[in-house]
Amino acid sequence: METSIISLLIHYKYVIIIPLATTEGQILSIICGFLIRLGYLNFLPAYLCLITGNLIGDIGWYCIGYFWGKRFVDRFGKYVSITEEKISVVEKLFRRYDSSILLISKLTNGFGFALVTLMTAGMIRISFKKYMLLNFFGQIFWTGGLLGLGFIFGHAYESVASVFGKLTVVAGFILIVVLFLGYSNYLRNKMIRNDTV
């Protein structure tokens, strides 16, 4: 999948970033950082397109929660890992931390609750203006951080000449992604256990 995304980015550049970022924002940001380092993309247009695409995706999830909420969860939730249990946990977090949970969720990618958080904000009728301001502010830092990570891996990839060295860089990248996802799942499961006890 990453290979096909890279091919699309090299061929279509900024035209394709916004639509891809609406659903694949995280991995796309890292890949764009990698391609910026290799000289295929320029930082500012890629950064702005990534932020725009991610925010369009956020608007979509807010609208789904606002207009279809429970009906969407009942019919399609299992396909996007959104359950009544997760919505209940996120609703409690909204009550406990007010809408600042949106900013925390954006900056941490929700630790496994990103889509649920965005949709729940619509379900409980968080002000759309506040929703967008918090998401925009968080997205600036989150996208910048992921671009930076991709840039670092691009630099490491360019720095090594041997095939083995390049494979080591790729393996290190995969390991970091797996550890991040594992830690996110651990925290999500811990939060669910704490709220159900």
Could you read off the pLDDT of 29-42 as tens digits, one per residue? 888 998 899 889 99
Taking the CA atoms of residue 153, residue 159, residue 162 and residue 168 in that order, the dihedral angle to the nearest 10 degrees is -30
pLDDT of residue 196: 46
| pTM for this model (two decimals) | 0.78
The predicted structure's pLDDT at residue 132: 92
Q: How confident is residue 45, by pLDDT bands cut at 50, 70 and 90?
A: very high
Distance (Å, whole) CA 135 – CA 64: 16
Residue 52's domain comprises 2-196
**Predicted local distance difference test score (pLDDT) of residue 74:** 87
CA atoms within a 13 Å half-sphere pointing along the CA-CB vector of 157:
18
Question: H-helix or E-strand containing 80?
Answer: none
Length of the chain: 197
pLDDT single digits (tens) 126-153: 889 989 998 898 889 889 988 998 898 8
- Number of domains comprising the chain: 1
pLDDT of residue 112: 55
- Give the residue, 91 or 50, on which the prediction is more confident: 50
**102 in Cβ contact with 134 (< 8 Å):** yes
pLDDT over 70 percentage in the chain: 83
Residue 190, pLDDT > 60, answer no
